[in-house]
């Protein structure tokens, strides 16, 4: 059976000494939480933190420092090193597979499960953490079979165990950097120099979050400003005011989630109404929670503070009036772009960069046709024959967990057809 992504880690205990307001601390906290690695956090200025540092010959300037229960220590320089140190499965066990999947969100995990359970030697590469965007959801209410909802981390854990049970190899902290056809299939080159070959590929790399792109706000990333993260930070926001930027379902879910612990949740929505982007069930839920205030037609234009976020400047988009409000916590959920930067120009895309597949590939007669063969493309096949796309990365996908899971599963059936099994 293939190694699970957490084989060597299970049972270990970690202590992290890091300043809560340092960006490096946020990266570590998010990485460990997303990979479901339990740890104890200690401020470097607390007595326990000072003692741990001194006992191991470190100073506050060396933080963040990780301490293992076995006496090992680490000053992490990047996520890959951190992943290796905590014992995640970061290297493939072979260099050749039947099916290679890029992306460990719902689409990729469904493909891994079906690929492995139907006899394909299957490997999945995930650059960050299994679960993808869905892993960040506090409560997924619209996924079939879970009438009371399920948290993203619970769904992820179930998917991971199920895929591993069938022998799928899940590799964490490995980023696909380039894909090229070979005589017998494809080679995927990864950022750390590893190359993996496979007879077929499913691209399930989903979408990457947009940031506000306001320099004064970016300055506070991880120090009061957070993107698409709620689960990790929520315990720290207890009793505070929380600002949420965005008007789609992910922002709505976060508002509901924070309302259970924050003093007040203020949603800042650029559109004139939540109905523009949000599902009706969520709007009704938000309207029923007195602690949530929805401000429409408003945008963030500036931020200020000393060591962390202290004030936001908001602008009314209709009148142009600006106001400054005290704010310590800002969570932005403002959309995402397709994660296709690692694929070259032989993959046809729509005007927003999402991959075109199957019947959506316009078959143009002559040399302009993006499809190179005389047979028509299979349903989820990209313009590179034998490479399929599933989930949010695909054009005309509904950007829902159920759609991603369905497409991931269906892509495996098409892979079988392509391979002639
Ligand atoms: C906060 C939040 C709440 C949501 N709530 C709901 C909900 O309640 N119901 C619902 O139906 N939908 C919800 N969604 C949407 C849903 O999560 C997405 O539609 C779904 O996750 C898409 O799955 P995916 O596998 O296609 O892509 P993703 O989930 O985006 O996963 C793609 C994965 O690929 C990885 N990756 C990208 N590039 C590379 C690379 N080069 N190499 C290796 N790995 C790579 C990424 O790190 C990521 O883990 C929510 C989304 C968010 C952000």
Highest-pLDDT range among 224-228, 246-250, 321-325, 367-371: 321-325
Pocket-forming residues, ligand 1, beta carbon under 6 Å: 102-108, 125-128, 132-134, 136-137, 140-142, 175-176, 204-207, 228, 249-250, 253, 339, 342, 391-393, 399-402, 404
| 105-139 pLDDT tens trace | 999 999 999 999 999 999 999 999 999 999 988 88
Of 401, 406, 410, 412, the residue with max ligand 1 atoms within 8 A of its CB, to mutate for a pocket test, comes to 401
What are the tens digits of pLDDT across the range 63-94? Answer: 999 999 889 999 998 888 999 999 899 999 99
pLDDT at 221 (0 to 100): 86
Q: What is the pLDDT of residue 242?
A: 96
Residue-wise pLDDT for 367-380, tens only, equals 567 899 999 999 99
- Mean pLDDT is lowest, of 11-25, 35-49, 315-329, for 11-25
For ligand 1, the distance from its centroid to the CA atom of residue 315, given in whole angstroms, is 31
Say yes or no to pLDDT of 10 above 90. Answer: no
| Residue 390 alpha carbon, nearest atom of ligand 1 | 26
Ligand 1, atom 15, lies closest to the CA of: 400
User: In the prediction, which pLDDT does 5 show?
Assistant: 62
Averaged pLDDT of the chain: 92
Ligand 1 atom closest to the Cα of residue 399 is: 19
Distance CA 90, CA 264 (A): 41
What are the pLDDT digits (tens) for 314-339? Answer: 999 999 999 999 999 999 999 899 99
pLDDT tens readout for residues 274-304: 999 999 999 999 999 999 999 999 999 999 9
Domains of the chain plus CATH, in order, are 14-85 (3.40.30.10), 96-208+337-419 (3.50.50.60), 215-332 (3.50.50.60)
Tell me how crowded residue 125 is: count the other CB atoms within 10 A of its CB: 25
pLDDT of residue 32 exceeding 80, the answer is yes
On the question of pLDDT at 248 being above 80, the answer is: yes
Statement: residue 240 has pLDDT above 50: yes
CA 105 – ligand 1 centroid, Å: 5
**What is the rounded average pLDDT of the residues 344-364?**
89
DSSP string computed for 224-266: TEEES--TTTGGGGTTSEEEEE--SHHHHHHHHHHHTTSSEEE
In this structure, the number of other CB atoms found within 10 A of the CB of residue 2 comes to 23
Instruction: Find out whether the peptide bond into 64 is cis, omega within 30 degrees of 0.
Output: yes
Question: What's the rounded Cα separation, in Å, for the pair 212 and 300?
Answer: 9
Beta bridge partners of 207: 338
Which residue in 48, 36, 39 sits closest to 66, CA to CA? Answer: 39
Query: Best of 80, 134, 179, 195 to mutate for ligand 1, by most ligand atoms within 8 A of CB?
Result: 134
């Amino acid at each position: 059976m293939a190694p699970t992504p957490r084989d060597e880690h299970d049972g270990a205990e970690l202590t992290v000494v890091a300043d809560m307001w340092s960006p490096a601390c946020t990266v570590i906290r998010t990485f460990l939480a997303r990979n479901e690695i339990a740890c104890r956090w200690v401020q470097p200025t607390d007595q326990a933190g000072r003692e741990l540092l001194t006992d191991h010959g470190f100073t506050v300037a060396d933080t963040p420092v990780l301490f293992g229960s076995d006496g090992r220590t680490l000053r992490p320089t990047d996520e890959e090193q951190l992943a290796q140190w905590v014992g995640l499965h970061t290297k493939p066990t072979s260099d050749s597979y039947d099916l290679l999947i890029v992306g460990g969100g719902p689409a990729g995990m469904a493909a891994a499960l079906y690929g492995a359970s139907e006899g394909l030697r299957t490997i999945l590469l995930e650059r960050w953490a299994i679960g993808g965007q869905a892993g960040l959801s506090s409560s997924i209410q619209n996924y079939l079979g879970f009438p009371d909802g399920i948290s993203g981390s619970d769904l992820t854990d179930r998917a991971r165990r199920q895929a591993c049970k069938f022998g799928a190899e899940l590799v964490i902290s490995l980023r696909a950097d380039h894909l090229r056809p070979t005589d017998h299939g494809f080679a995927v080159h990864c950022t750390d120099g590893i190359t993996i070959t496979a007879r077929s590929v499913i691209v399930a790399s989903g979408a990457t979050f947009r940031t506000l792109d306001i320099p004064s706000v970016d300055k506070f990333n991880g120090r009061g400003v957070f993107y698409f993260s709620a689960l990790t930070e929520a315990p720290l926001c207890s009793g505070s005011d929380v600002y949420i930027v965005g008007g789609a379902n992910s922002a709505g879910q976060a508002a509901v989630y924070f309302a259970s612990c924050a003093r007040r949740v203020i949603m800042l929505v650029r559109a004139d109404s939540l109905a523009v982007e949000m599902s009706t069930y969520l709007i009704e839920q938000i309207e029923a929670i007195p602690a949530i205030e929805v401000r429409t037609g408003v945008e963030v234009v500036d931020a200020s503070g000393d060591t962390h976020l202290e004030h936001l400047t908001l602008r009314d988009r209709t009148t142009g009036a600006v106001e400054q409000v005290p704010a310590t916590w800002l969570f932005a959920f403002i959309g995402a772009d397709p994660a296709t930067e690692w694929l070259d120009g032989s993959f046809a895309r729509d005007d927003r960069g999402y991959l075109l597949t199957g019947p959506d590939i316009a078959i143009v007669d002559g040399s302009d046709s993006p499809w190179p063969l005389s047979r028509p493309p299979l349903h989820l096949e990209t313009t590179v024959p034998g490479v399929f796309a599933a989930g949010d990365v695909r054009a005309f996908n509904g950007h829902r967990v159920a759609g991603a899971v369905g497409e991931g599963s269906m892509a495996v059936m098409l892979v079988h057809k392509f391979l002639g099994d």
